[in-house]
Amino acid sequence: MTSEEPDRHARTMLPIPDRPAPGLTTYDAKDPETRYPPIEPLRPPAGAPNVLIVLLDDVGFGASSAFGGPCRTPTAERLASGGLKFNRFHTTALCAPSRAALLSGRNHHSVGMGSITETATSAPGNSSLRPNTKAPLAMTLKLNGYSTAQFGKCHEVPVWQSSPMGPFDAWPSAGGGFETFYGFIGGENNQWDPALYDGTTPVEPPATPEEGYHLTEDLADRACNWIRQQKALMPDKPFFVYFAPGATHAPHHVPKEWADRYRGQFDEGWDVQRVRTFARQKELGVIPPDARLTERHAEITAWDDMPEELKPVLAREMEVYAGFLEHTDHHVGRVIDAIEELGVLENTLIYYIVGDNGASSEGTMNGAFNEMANFNGMAALETPEFLLGKVDEFGSPSSYNHYSVGWAWAMDTPFQWTKQVASHWGGTRNGTIVHWPAGIAERGGLRSQFTHVIDVAPTVLEAAGLPEPVMVNGVQQSPIEGTSMLYAFGDASAEERHDLQYFEMFGNRGIYHRGWSAVTKHRTPWVMVGGNMPAFDDDLWELYDGSDDYSQADNLAGKMPETLSRLQRLWLIEAVKYNVLPLDDRTAERIDPGMAGRPTLVRGRSQVFYPGMGRLSENSVVSIKNKSFTVTADVEVPAGGATGVIIAQGGRFGGWCVHVRDGRARFVYNVLGIQEFVTESDRPIPPGRHEVRVHFAYDGGGLAKGGDVTISYDGATAGTGRVGATQPMIFSADETTDIGYESGTTVTAAYTAAESRFTGKIHQVRIDLGDDDHEHAVDPEERLRVAMARQ
């Protein structure tokens, strides 16, 4: 179709109905009257741009150098110099909700993603199920003739649908509308050794950390290759690429040389860094000249009050994070370069969204070498002495690290609070850059209209000349809830069109309306244990006038109670409209599937596994934590003996396995990569078919206790041992359970992943749980920690 021809398709119903052309049907194809129009591949309207959406993870407004931060992001700066910066663009304060909203053009509760998938309930706004009346943007574009591909993180799959058996309705390359997907499912991943999927098929990384592998580089390689191939084979067909690396979510993994570029730059601490960033933001003009720097809350320790012996570790945490963000931006730049080298950058609409929420404050005030220690309530194991001994390993494959709450606060300059706090701009305001030379005349401009992540989808549709569909796959669609930003591309002074927006996350909530914001913080993200949450009606609300208070620094609630009351009422109206109610700050009830009302794959007190099963998340396997259990394996051993893994759960940063070494069965329990308890049998497993059993007798008396181990062959004891302590809450946010081999990092250094495959034959493996279940004793706040581990 040329630009002069009208679009003949009725695109409001998708797929576009086939309409056979009327005319003469001849008997013989050789008849001169035989005429049929040529088959024309489906294409969007003429002039529709390519689309690239880049979404970074856990980057605060004050982190990127493009918005005055200390982390150098030359790619973001380059795009901004040729396009527009939006300094009042907003997310939902949490990753999965922001992503669900971005990809649908609807509010996160409207698509069932009120929080993360791991805390889903049966309430419509928190179910983690996107209604089929709200088709994703990728599906709409694909059915209109776009090539579609996603690379990176997907945290929108309900936990009971994340096993190798699906169903795959919510996976990117199935119901998500992406023809290609390469990345990971879940909230975070090991950047050095990720659990990857190509479509719905588990795959291993193409190289090892020792060979220089890093996930962000791999994702960029895949994206560049896909874009080149797409343009080589279908040059007239536009693409939609969603590039969403797991960076810079914890663990903060980056090659050492990138972190070393920032050596010594953060030695003066987070309070000083906020002042520096604030000054730089004013110098760049990304915040108004009259903006004020908000004060530090009492919950955040001043740098001067942190232990002196810990400060070298704290500074290194930030050096590693800064290197991680610069490294990520570099690989985003490679994708941009590939598009430019193909000569199609001019008509490629690029969104570079610098963060899916505010900076993450989930690392405690001390930060962490292995963040799983905190999520298991065992952060005390990481003493200042321990952290100092590991300072040179932060960011390396031996770490699973996070930075201090103080750095998260600094990376959210000039705002209050951090990720999860949807009430304040520190949790929801993310710097965003839009670059589209064919559609934006101004270069290096600034836009200050209020915008939100739900505005991206309608903007793309308008830019492509596509109508919002009213029917997709036979289902009538509800209206898109965002507002196209296209009106602001050509007019910095245009009156904002998105002038009403609610916010809510874990009870932290707020409302924006025509410059005003009314907000209330219900929960502090890093206070996961202890502390009493007030009743919702007892929450203290604040009021801010955004017309002259960009950063929410001057609380007017006491001076203007009527305005506050009006906005509170408006919040309630919007909350009812978009399925926000009922508000839900429950903890234990939301972690337990039965109490939450969501399905579970695991039922009863035993589970059977078969050889070759793998990539099973903790949600797909019975929990052996805080109780006795027995692992029974039916195996065949060849005449020369056997080696390898029978079953393994977790990996280097915590887990357990039953494996065979030098013919002898061994049980290994790894506590957070800090302590390893090994029980080895006293003799090899004889050749032939045998029952190998490991029984763990839990001590009881609370959580995280140890227990006695007994290994037996065909009922005869073959070895005994002792486990001194266990992990009570979670082994890993990304490692899995495998039968007959081990993917990812290994539970023990006694073997590598390449050496892990069992050389005998496994008929089946069964886990049976004991009756001494101590999980009921888990404090509700501790249970919430499990969910937070997977954001």
Instruction: Give the tens place of pLDDT for each residue, 20-50.
Output: 888 899 999 999 999 998 999 999 999 999 9
- Give the per-residue pLDDT at 532: 76
Position of tokens 């886990």? 767
Instruction: Return mean pLDDT, the chain.
Output: 94
3-state secondary structure of 594: helix
- Give the per-residue pLDDT at 526: 84
Percentage of the chain beyond pLDDT 90 is 90
- Taking 3-state DSSP, the helix, strand and coil percentages for the chain, each rounded to the nearest 5, stand at 25, 20, 55
Q: How far apart are CA 70 and CA 419, in angstroms?
A: 19
pLDDT at 56 over 80: yes
A 10 A CB-CB count for 483 gives 23
- Give the per-residue pLDDT at 591: 78
Position of tokens 């930003």? 485
Q: How far apart are CA 621 and CA 781, in angstroms?
A: 23
pLDDT at 528 over 80: no
| Six-digit token string for 300 | 């955040």
- Give the per-residue pLDDT at 375: 84
pLDDT at 791 over 70: no
Q: How far apart are CA 582 and CA 572, in angstroms?
A: 11
Q: Is 615 left (phi over 0), alpha (psi -120 to 50) or beta?
A: left
Which is more confidently placed, 779 or 751? 751
Q: How far apart are CA 583 and CA 176, in angstroms?
A: 28
Using CA of residue 581, residue 582, residue 585, residue 590, what is the dihedral sign? Answer: negative
Contact between 53 and 242 under an 8 Å Cβ cutoff? The reply is yes
- Mean pLDDT to the nearest integer, 323-345: 98
Position of tokens 């695109």? 11
DSSP class of 355? -
- Give the per-residue pLDDT at 587: 74
- Mean pLDDT to the nearest integer, 502-506: 97
DSSP class of 158? -
**DSSP state string for 531-565:** --PPPGGGPPPEEEETTT-TTS-S--TTT-HHHHH
pLDDT at 549 over 70: yes
Contact between 654 and 736 under an 8 Å Cβ cutoff? The reply is no
Partners of residue 471 on adjacent β-strands: 13, 476
- Give the per-residue pLDDT at 573: 98
Q: How far apart are CA 125 and CA 112, in angstroms?
A: 4
Contact between 313 and 404 under an 8 Å Cβ cutoff? The reply is no
- Give the per-residue pLDDT at 671: 96
- Give the per-residue pLDDT at 704: 93
Using CA of residue 572, residue 575, residue 581, residue 587, what is the dihedral sign? Answer: negative
Partners of residue 677 on adjacent β-strands: 669
- Give the per-residue pLDDT at 495: 98
Contact between 242 and 150 under an 8 Å Cβ cutoff? The reply is yes
- Closest by Cα among 314, 545, 284 to 407: 314
Position of tokens 């996350």? 505
- Give the per-residue pLDDT at 780: 44
- Give the per-residue pLDDT at 785: 47
Residue 483 neighbours by CB under 8 Å, 6+ apart:
455, 458, 497, 498
3-state secondary structure 428-486: HECCEEEECCCCCCCCCEEECCCEEHHHHHHHHHHHCCCCCCCEECCEECCCCCCCCCH
**DSSP state string for 14-43:** ESPPP-PPP----SSTTSTT---PPP----
- Give the per-residue pLDDT at 5: 61
Side-chain half-sphere CA neighbours of 144 within 13 A: 30
- Give the per-residue pLDDT at 309: 96
Angle at 167 between CA 162 and CA 172, to 5 degrees: 70
- Give the per-residue pLDDT at 24: 93
Q: How far apart are CA 214 and CA 196, in angstroms?
A: 12
Q: In the structure, how many helices (H) and strands (E) does the chain have?
A: 17, 30
- Give the per-residue pLDDT at 788: 42
Q: How far apart are CA 245 and CA 328, in angstroms?
A: 8
3-state secondary structure 565-576: HHHHHHHHHHHH
Contact between 433 and 85 under an 8 Å Cβ cutoff? The reply is yes
Instruction: Give the tens place of pLDDT for each residue, 562-598.
Output: 999 999 999 999 999 999 999 999 876 787 888 899 9
- Closest by Cα among 403, 406, 401 to 418: 406
pLDDT at 631 over 60: yes
- Give the per-residue pLDDT at 531: 59
DSSP β-ladder status, 196-198 and 180-185: antiparallel
- Mean pLDDT to the nearest integer, 70-97: 98
- Mean pLDDT to the nearest integer, 118-130: 96
pLDDT at 652 over 90: yes
Angle at 544 between CA 539 and CA 545, to 5 degrees: 155
A 10 A CB-CB count for 479 gives 12
Which is more confidently placed, 530 or 349? 349
Q: How far apart are CA 550 and CA 288, in angstroms?
A: 7
Instruction: Give the tens place of pLDDT for each residue, 311-324.
Output: 999 999 999 999 99
Residue 315 neighbours by CB under 8 Å, 6+ apart:
264, 266, 267, 269
pLDDT at 473 over 70: yes
| E strand or H helix that includes residue 154 | strand 147-154
DSSP β-ladder status, 239-244 and 50-55: parallel
A 10 A CB-CB count for 767 gives 21
Instruction: Give the tens place of pLDDT for each residue, 189-236.
Output: 999 999 999 999 999 999 999 999 999 999 999 999 999 999 999 999
pLDDT at 307 over 90: yes
Confidence bin at 527 (pLDDT 50/70/90)? confident
pLDDT at 8 over 80: no
Q: In what order do the strands lie in the sheet with 542-545?
A: 500-505, 508-513, 516-520, 542-545
Q: How far apart are CA 207 and CA 40, in angstroms?
A: 42
Q: How far apart are CA 739 and CA 67, in angstroms?
A: 48
Q: How far apart are CA 534 and CA 552, in angstroms?
A: 23
Angle at 476 between CA 470 and CA 481, to 5 degrees: 60
Residue 566 neighbours by CB under 8 Å, 6+ apart:
none
Q: Average the pLDDT over each of 39-53, 325-339, 768-782 and give the range with the smallest value.
A: 768-782
Phi, psi of 629 (to 5 degrees): -160, 165
Q: How far apart are CA 741 and CA 616, in angstroms?
A: 12
3-state secondary structure of 509: strand
- Torsion of the alpha carbons at 390, 392, 396 and 399, rounded to the nearest 10: 10
Contact between 433 and 352 under an 8 Å Cβ cutoff? The reply is yes
Percentage of the chain beyond pLDDT 70 is 96
Instruction: Give the tens place of pLDDT for each residue, 361-417.
Output: 999 999 999 999 888 888 889 999 999 999 999 999 999 999 999 999 999 999 999
Confidence bin at 476 (pLDDT 50/70/90)? very high
Q: How far apart are CA 565 and CA 680, in angstroms?
A: 67
Confidence bin at 1 (pLDDT 50/70/90)? very low
pLDDT at 275 over 60: yes
Partners of residue 675 on adjacent β-strands: 671
Q: How far apart are CA 158 and CA 164, in angstroms?
A: 13
Confidence bin at 513 (pLDDT 50/70/90)? very high
pLDDT at 542 over 80: yes
Contact between 95 and 58 under an 8 Å Cβ cutoff? The reply is yes
| Six-digit token string for 583 | 């508000």
Instruction: Give the tens place of pLDDT for each residue, 346-372.
Output: 999 999 999 999 999 999 999 999 999
